[in-house]
Chains A and B, each alone.
Chain A
Amino acid sequence: MGLRILSGEDNEFAALQYRKIFEKNQHSITIARDGEECILKYKKVLENCSADSYPFDVVLLDFVMPKKNGVQVAKDILDLRPHQKIIFASAFGNGVLDDASAILKDSIEILQKPFSLEFLVKKIENSCALKNIH
């Protein structure tokens, strides 16, 4: 069964590529172009979810996004679902990401850009598999 992925990515080309690669691998992906849209889409799917289920298996967030940055979006999502799996994709250096990960929780992973699309798919699939085992 494919994974449900929510991606917050303001680069239209990156977003297009995510869609292509995840759909090719039988996963469904929802794209949001900015932080606020990302939260709105998360909430919209959440409305139809039961109390113990998650609207998405993984939320893939760009660190820098218009209107609300990735960290703010992650905080809002974790307020709604504290154990939501979130993966950051960022081109920032380690120092900036370290500061962010200190604020956020263990359920968050960070991927350093640039990375291959194949690596991204494997990373997300493995993370979800591990989460299911736990």
Chain B
Amino acid sequence: MKYQKASNGFRIGASVGIIILMLGIAIALSISATYTFSNQMRIVTDFNTPLEKTIIQMSDIQKNQESVFNNAIRSLQIKDTQGFQSSESEFQNYNNLMNNQIMQAENIVKIGIDALPQEYVGSQFNLTLTKMTEIEELNTEYERLASNIFQSADKIDSTKLDILAADLKIKGESLYAKQNELLGDLESSYQNIETAVDENKQKSLTLEIIMIIAAGVISLISGYFVNQINRDLTDEVIKKTKSLQKVNEKLKKLNRLKDEFISEASHELKSPLNPIYGFVELAKCGDIDKEEALSGIVKQARQIEEVANKMLDLGKIDNSKLQISIEKFNLNTLISDISEAARLSVNENVSIKTELPENIEIEADKVRIGQVIRNILNNAIKFTHDGNIIITSSLNDNNMVEVRISDTGIGIHPEIFHKIFNKFATKSHKRENLDGNGLGLYICKGIIDAHDGNIQAYNNPHGGATILFSIPVTHHKNNEEFQRSLFN
């Protein structure tokens, strides 16, 4: 149960931990995605804007170059050498400007490639860089072509010049087209980044939903475990409560029986006092003679002694302090003496017989064993109003002697059968009629246990009950001591 509790506790802890972790991841993803997208948008904007401006400027420069080139051609046609040279110089300046712009654009793109993550916009900038390289190459060719024209203009005929000019124009248009293409790319990169942002937002949202659903599922599982633990705990509390209630009931019952026993014991001790006072009173008045009074007083005193001894025995047995005094004696003689005495007190309808086939000598506490036999015999007499009581003794192979007292009485009631050797087991039972204190057989068991013996009870198949006990013939514990005492 303890292990299960620890396991359940661990499960709940782990579940709560996972829920918190998942919610944390979901929130972190959301924040991260928002930050990443806004950052990318900012970076793209930061790079695209100057790049666009540079490319537009490049287009403007190229327009100017074309215009200057046309001026140079016109100057050449009208033989304006100074104008031609001025245009050539101006063209060269524009070339320088164009190269500067191209370098600036390339730098912007390279910085952009380094700054932006490849998976989102880096690839776009790679393409831009490739196109910039193409523009640079086209521009180089444009410049080279223009330079050739400027250098050979005065040496070639007009037809050739027109062809070269047409080539230059075509190259310039290619350059324009490439620049416009690049501007278009930049324009579409905004859309691409927006699409990428949307896609990533969607992915992030999906992931967040999955996380939240997972957290919900784990919460449900945790709830189930908590519920299960609660149920287990409730069951355990109910079980413990029932167990405690049972113990409490037992204690109450035991306490009640103890109170009753004390009351009963005081009653048993006080009851003989009344006839004692009575004997004294009658003897004083001369209503009975002194001998009769003294005899009665002695008998009553013995009864008090017996009750007191029972109470002392009870205390000794309860505290495991019952001591036995071992001696060697003839068990059958003891049984015969007790039976003989008992025959005097039973009514004529009850006969007490003995079957003692062997002469059995044992080592035991004679007084205590006599007490056991007397007690069992008195019980048999009490519950046999008409019939026989038979006492037998026998030796068995295990060095044990068995004494069996059977009667033809009313037998042992099923309610008390299983606890007949318990303290107060028979007390207040309806058959007892308050006669008896429920201690006799408990004390008998205590005495037999002290002899390392065994005592049992059963109902006879044809009515009545049998109580039998067996004890070792030789008392093992004090065997050596006993042997020494015999030789000494």
B277 at interface (Cβ–Cβ under 8 A)? yes
Within 8 A of B (CB), among A41-89: 63-69, 89
Within 8 A of A (CB), among B257-288: 263, 266-268, 270-279, 281-282, 287-288
Within 8 A of B (CB), among A12-59: 13-14, 17, 20-21, 24, 35
A104 at interface (Cβ–Cβ under 8 A)? no
Indicate with 1 or 0, residue by residue over A89-102, a CB within 8 angstroms of chain B CB atoms: 11111011000000
Residue from B270, B274, B275, B281 within 8 A of A118 (CB atoms): B281
Q: Are A113 and B270 in contact (CB under 8 A)?
A: yes
Provide the bound-state CA to CA distance between A69 and B434, in Å: 7
Q: Are B277 and A114 in contact (CB under 8 A)?
A: yes
Nearest A residue to B260 by beta-carbon distance?
Answer: A96
Residues of A within 8 A of B435 (CB): 10, 64-66
Residues of A within 8 A of B267 (CB): 63-64, 90-93
Provide the bound-state CA to CA distance between A107 and B434, in Å: 24
Given A66-B435, A69-B434, A113-B274, CB of A96 within 8 Å of CB of B263: yes
Given A13-B299, A66-B433, CB of A91 within 8 Å of CB of B279: no
Provide the bound-state CA to CA distance between A89 and B279, in Å: 17
Query: What's the least CB distance linking B345 to chain A, in Å?
Result: 11
Residues of B within 8 A of A92 (CB): 263, 266-267
Q: Are B282 and A68 in contact (CB under 8 A)?
A: no
How many of chain A's residues touch chain B, expressed as a range?
A: 20 to 34
Residues of A within 8 A of B453 (CB): none
Query: What's the least CB distance linking A73 to chain B, in Å?
Result: 11
Given A92-B263, A113-B274, CB of A65 within 8 Å of CB of B433: yes
B296 at interface (Cβ–Cβ under 8 A)? yes
Provide the bound-state CA to CA distance between A20 and B293, in Å: 13
Residues of A within 8 A of B273 (CB): 91, 113-114
Nearest A residue to B300 by beta-carbon distance?
Answer: A13
Nearest A residue to B436 by beta-carbon distance?
Answer: A66
Within 8 A of A (CB), among B432-477: 433-435
Nearest B residue to A24 by beta-carbon distance?
Answer: B287
Residues of A within 8 A of B275 (CB): 11, 13-14, 17
Nearest B residue to A36 by beta-carbon distance?
Answer: B433
Provide the bound-state CA to CA distance between A93 and B296, in Å: 25
Residues of B within 8 A of A96 (CB): 263
Q: Are A67 and B266 in contact (CB under 8 A)?
A: no
Residue with the greatest number of chain A CB neighbours at <10 A, chosen from B267, B270, B271, B276? B271
Provide the bound-state CA to CA distance between A4 and B273, in Å: 26
CB<8 Å pairs between A and B, sample of 13: A13-B279, A14-B278, A17-B278, A24-B287, A64-B434, A65-B434, A93-B267, A95-B263, A113-B271, A113-B274, A114-B270, A114-B274, A115-B277
Q: Are A69 and B433 in contact (CB under 8 A)?
A: yes
Q: Are A21 and B287 in contact (CB under 8 A)?
A: yes
A132 at interface (Cβ–Cβ under 8 A)? no
Provide the bound-state CA to CA distance between A118 and B267, in Å: 22
Residues of B within 8 A of A115 (CB): 274, 277
Residue from A14, A20, A65 within 8 A of B274 (CB atoms): A14
- Kindly count the residue-residue contacts between A and B in the assembled complex, taking CB atoms under 8 Å apart: 76
- Chain A residues near B (Cβ < 8 Å): 10-11, 13-14, 17, 20-21, 24, 35, 63-69, 89-93, 95-96, 113-118
Query: What's the least CB distance linking B326 to chain A, in Å?
Result: 37
Nearest A residue to B275 by beta-carbon distance?
Answer: A13
Provide the bound-state CA to CA distance between A1 and B240, in Å: 69
Query: What's the least CB distance linking A23 to chain B, in Å?
Result: 10
Provide the bound-state CA to CA distance between A95 and B287, in Å: 35
Nearest B residue to A15 by beta-carbon distance?
Answer: B275
Given A65-B433, A92-B263, CB of A117 within 8 Å of CB of B278: yes
Q: Are B282 and A20 in contact (CB under 8 A)?
A: yes
Nearest A residue to B277 by beta-carbon distance?
Answer: A114
A-B residue pairs, 3 tightest by C-beta: A91-B270, A17-B278, A13-B275
Residues of B within 8 A of A21 (CB): 278, 282, 287
Given A66-B433, A93-B266, CB of A11 within 8 Å of CB of B271: yes
Given A13-B299, A91-B267, CB of A116 within 8 Å of CB of B433: no
Query: What's the least CB distance linking A17 to chain B, in Å?
Result: 4
Provide the bound-state CA to CA distance between A89 and B268, in Å: 14
Query: What's the least CB distance linking B157 to chain A, in Å?
Result: 152
Query: What's the least CB distance linking A124 to chain B, in Å?
Result: 15
Within 8 A of A (CB), among B275-316: 275-279, 281-282, 287-288, 296, 299-300
Given A13-B299, A21-B282, CB of A91 within 8 Å of CB of B266: yes
Q: Are A116 and B270 in contact (CB under 8 A)?
A: no
Q: Are A20 and B287 in contact (CB under 8 A)?
A: yes
Query: What's the least CB distance linking A128 to chain B, in Å?
Result: 21
Nearest B residue to A112 by beta-carbon distance?
Answer: B270
Residue from B271, B281, B296 within 8 A of A91 (CB atoms): B271
With A13-B279, A17-B279 given, can you name 19 additional A-B contacts, CB distance below 8 Å? Answer: A14-B274, A14-B275, A20-B287, A21-B282, A21-B287, A24-B287, A63-B267, A64-B271, A65-B434, A68-B433, A90-B267, A91-B266, A91-B267, A91-B268, A91-B274, A113-B273, A114-B273, A116-B278, A117-B277
Nearest A residue to B280 by beta-carbon distance?
Answer: A116
Residue with the greatest number of chain B CB neighbours at <10 A, chosen from A10, A17, A116? A17
Residues of A within 8 A of B299 (CB): 13
